[in-house]
Structure 1
Amino acid sequence: MTDQTSETTETDVEQDATATPATDVTEAESTAEEGRKGNPEAAKWRTKFRDAEAQVTALSQRVTDLQRAEIVRQATGAGLLIDGDDVFRDRQLADLLDDDGNVDADLVAEAVAAVRESKPHLGKPYLDGDVGIGTKAASKPLSWADVIGG
């Protein structure tokens, strides 16, 4: 009886030894599949996070474009520069913003003055005196005799 019990025990141990790795492999495969699939809720949050990042990037670019457009508008206003983008020749956008990220009109004016001083041909020409546009002040009415030369 002892011989049969020992044979049975050895056989059972061999079967258990072969069965255990197979079970481990199956559990490992199922864990790997779950890892690849991921938690559906986590996937939903990752998607929302990516969408939010895309929106932040788009809105940040939009604000930058609006800030740049405002600087160009201020630089071309009041006869200052022909092309407002010339103010960015030696300055970056951040150089013309205040601490809160708003366009600083004083910094823009300084930048425009610096551009006009270093490269006057980039500024709009100053018009002094009578350049033949509009009505003339206090001129006497002409008669036909004045026009004909008489």
Structure 2
Amino acid sequence: MTEHNTTETTDETIDQEAPDTGPDATETDQTEVDQEQGVEQNPSRREAGYRVKLREAEAQRDQLSERLTSLQRAEVERIAAGKIKSAQALWASGAELADLLAEDGTVDGTKVIAAAERARDQLGLEAPRPPLYVPKEGQTTGPHRRPSGWEEAFIPA
């Protein structure tokens, strides 16, 4: 009788420790594994996630495109400033950014200079003045000044 009681207790313990192996338990475990790996069971949710990622990528692409365009325009204006006083006049003359770019998308300096000269001639603008140049700037032409009394005290004899 003692052996029979021990066997029953052991069987009950095994039954309590064994996981539920029914069909519902397997699906729940698989869903948890899929969610941990980032895979969702519902295809429409997965597609919605892809659409959200697509919209975010498109927004980032548009933002970077606008930033690139503004940097290219700034570079064109910097180059044109050497030929015309107001670089904004380049755009007023009808120049388009796409026409001033090289095939690889970089700003073509020769096209910008040609467009700036056309804008200057078309709008009647004057060329920017060259910077002032003083050939002997910083050189003293007069007699040297005498050191003050304080400076004389430190001149070696």
- TM-score normalised by the shorter chain: which range applies? 0.5 to 0.7
Corresponding position of 2:77? 72
TM score, norm. by length of structure 2: 0.53
**Counterpart in the other structure of 1:114:** 118
Match 2:49 to one of 44, 53, 56: 44
Task: Determine if contact 2:84/2:128 at 8 Å carries over to the other structure.
Answer: yes
Cα deviation, residue 120, structure 1: 3.5
Equivalent-residue separation in structure 2 for 1:65 and 1:101 (angstroms): 13
How many matched pairs?
98
Equivalent pair of 1:76/1:83 in contact (CA under 8 Å): yes
Structure 1's 55 and 91: CA in aligned 2 closer, same or farther, altered over 3 A? same
**C-alpha displacement of 1:45:** 0.6
Unaligned runs of 5+ in 2: 1-41, 144-157
Using the TM superposition, give the Cα deviation of residue 134 of structure 1 relative to its aligned residue in structure 2, in angstroms. 2.9
Pairing partner for 1:98 from 91, 98, 102: 102
Distance 1:119 1:136 in 2: 38
Q: Which runs of 5+ in 1 are unaligned?
A: 1-36, 144-150
For residues 116 and 106 of structure 2, what CA distance do their matches in structure 1 show? 17
**In angstroms, what is the RMSD of aligned CA positions?**
2.7
Question: Counterpart of 1:93 in structure 2: which amino acid?
Answer: L
1:33-57 CA distance string (max 9 Å, x none): xxxx971111111100000000000
**Structure 2 counterpart of 1:81:** 84
For residues 106 and 130 of structure 2, the distance between their equivalents in structure 1, rounded to whole angstroms, comes to: 30
TM-score normalised by the chain length of structure 1: 0.56
